[in-house]
């Protein structure tokens, strides 16, 4: 089957994108300047990312919908404000992660941003779990654009006045060319930034305006190095159906009063893991020297016991050193524990370290 193309495909091509197949789409991995340059530009100025391959799911409904979604997600949906977003999970009964997602409360329902590779199965599963009671729309006619970096707010404010008033993990409707667009202050790079949901036919013109104001198109390659430096998980690599949010070191994303009240899918397993602990845990790993440990690299203890595996690894351009994450036996998860990574048949020293590798620059308050 031929890969799909986003509404920005022609613009990517015009800007010298190198494409790769990703989650059923032709997506830009990098442009002419290369991954390291794009990474640094995002950290220093503002990078523009086409994330239209991700799923934008709208579910219409009010109070009863909140009740029904709380039976699925471990999130306190009743107590979040209109236009507020939360990071959450779609899990199975064993606490395994079907998908990680961002859920936003709207006046007449919820918008859920799903991972590209999971969106269609998520849609079918949620429809089944909600017993087809609600109107659900996986919006193929909308693009999703992210602008990330210290200059993102200044650039976007020139095009959509008022975005600087948004708080982190909140959103609102804005007018653009006489049409409604929805913008949230969020992203997945460790920088302050925004995600813009906009009709496909307006997307290219909108991005060209962002470029004109000083933004630059950035590919999936730099998106990966940026998120890894920020200690953020990539679905299908750092989390999957065989790992729970507790094992993924993401229990902070499960609402405390939901842990007490329960009633969501996977609750019994999650509560048990929080109370009793887990055998394996996702940790930050800092290789010594210049060795880069890629996904599936075996992790060994000082006494040569195989204790885990790398799930993401790269060179971090901002921290000027190799960085990695992986799952290890919980008894070795203490910070500064010496471990060894088997790369090309040789074992190289590394240390368990705090996440993130790069200090996140999210804006908690409001820029005035």
pTM (2 decimals)?
Answer: 0.96
* CA separation for the pair 198, 181 (Å, rounded): 5
What pLDDT is stored for residue 363 in this prediction? Answer: 82
| pLDDT at site 367 | 39
How far is it, in rounded angstroms, from Cα 123 to Cα 129? Answer: 10
Q: How far apart are CA 367 and CA 46, in angstroms?
A: 17
pLDDT in tens, 91-125: 999 999 999 999 999 999 999 999 999 999 999 99
> Could you give the residue ranges of the DSSP H alpha helices within the chain?
9-14, 35-44, 63-70, 119-129, 152-159, 200-212, 220-229, 256-261, 267-276
Among candidates 226, 212, 169, 195, which has minimal Cα distance to 43? 226
CATH H superfamily, domain 9-55+140-229? Probable tRNA modification gtpase trme; domain 1 (3.30.1360.120)
CA angle 41, 47, 50 (to 5 degrees): 145
**Residue-level pLDDT at 368:** 32
Please give the CATH number for the structural domain made up of 251-353. 2.40.30.110
Strands 216-217 and 47-50: parallel
H or E element at residue 98: strand 97-106
Please give the Cα distance from 92 to 97 (Å, whole number): 7
**So what's the pLDDT on residue 62?**
80
pLDDT in tens, 203-255: 999 999 999 999 999 999 999 999 999 999 999 999 999 999 999 999 999 99
State residue 1's pLDDT score: 78
Region of residue 162 (left: phi > 0; alpha: psi -120 to 50; beta: else): left
Contact indicator for 135, 142 with CB cutoff of 8 Å: no
Enumerate the domain spans of the chain. Answer: 9-55+140-229, 251-353
Q: Do you find a cis peptide bond into 256, omega within 30 degrees of 0?
A: no
DSSP state of 29: E
End-to-end CA distance of the chain: 49
pLDDT < 70: residue spans in the chain: 365-368
Read off φ and ψ for residue 33, nearest 5 degrees: -75, -20
pLDDT of residue 366: 45
């Amino acid at each position: 089957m031929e890969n799909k193309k986003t509404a920005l495909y022609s613009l990517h091509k015009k800007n010298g994108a190198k494409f790769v197949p990703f989650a059923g789409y032709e997506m830009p991995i990098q442009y002419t300047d290369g991954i390291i340059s794009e990474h640094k530009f995002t950290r220093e100025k503002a990078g523009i990312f086409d994330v239209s391959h991700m799923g934008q799911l709208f579910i219409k409904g009010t109070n009863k919908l909140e009740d029904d979604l709380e039976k699925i997600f471990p999130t306190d949906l009743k107590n979040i404000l209109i236009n507020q977003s939360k990071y959450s999970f779609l899990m199975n009964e064993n606490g395994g992660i079907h998908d990680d997602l961002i859920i936003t409360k709207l006046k007449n329902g919820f918008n859920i941003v799903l991972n590209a590779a999971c969106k269609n199965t998520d849609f079918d599963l949620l429809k089944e779990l909600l017993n087809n009671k609600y109107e659900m729309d996986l919006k193929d006619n909308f693009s999703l654009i992210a602008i990330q970096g210290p200059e993102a707010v200044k650039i976007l404010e020139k095009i959509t006045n008022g975005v600087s008033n948004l708080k982190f993990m909140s959103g609102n409707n804005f007018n653009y060319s006489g049409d409604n667009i929805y913008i949230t202050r969020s992203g997945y790079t460790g920088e302050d930034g925004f995600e813009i949901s906009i009709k496909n036919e307006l997307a290219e013109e909108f991005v060209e305006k962002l470029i004109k104001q000083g933004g630059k198109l950035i590919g999936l390659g730099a998106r990966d190095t940026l998120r890894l430096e920020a200690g953020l998980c990539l679905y299908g690599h750092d989390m999957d159906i065989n790992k729970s949010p507790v094992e993924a070191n993401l229990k902070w994303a499960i609402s405390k009063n939901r842990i007490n009240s329960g009633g969501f899918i996977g609750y019994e397993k999650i509560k048990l893991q929080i109370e009793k602990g887990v055998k394996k845990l996702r940790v930050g790993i800092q290789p010594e020297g210049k060795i880069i440990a890629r996904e599936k690299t075996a992790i060994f203890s000082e006494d040569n016991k195989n204790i885990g595996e790398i799930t993401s690894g790269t060179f971090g351009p901002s921290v000027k050193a190799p960085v990695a994450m992986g799952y290890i036996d919980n008894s070795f998860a203490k910070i500064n524990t010496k471990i060894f990574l088997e790369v090309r048949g040789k074992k190289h020293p590394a240390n368990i370290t705090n996440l993130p590798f790069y200090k996140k620059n999210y804006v908690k308050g409001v820029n005035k």
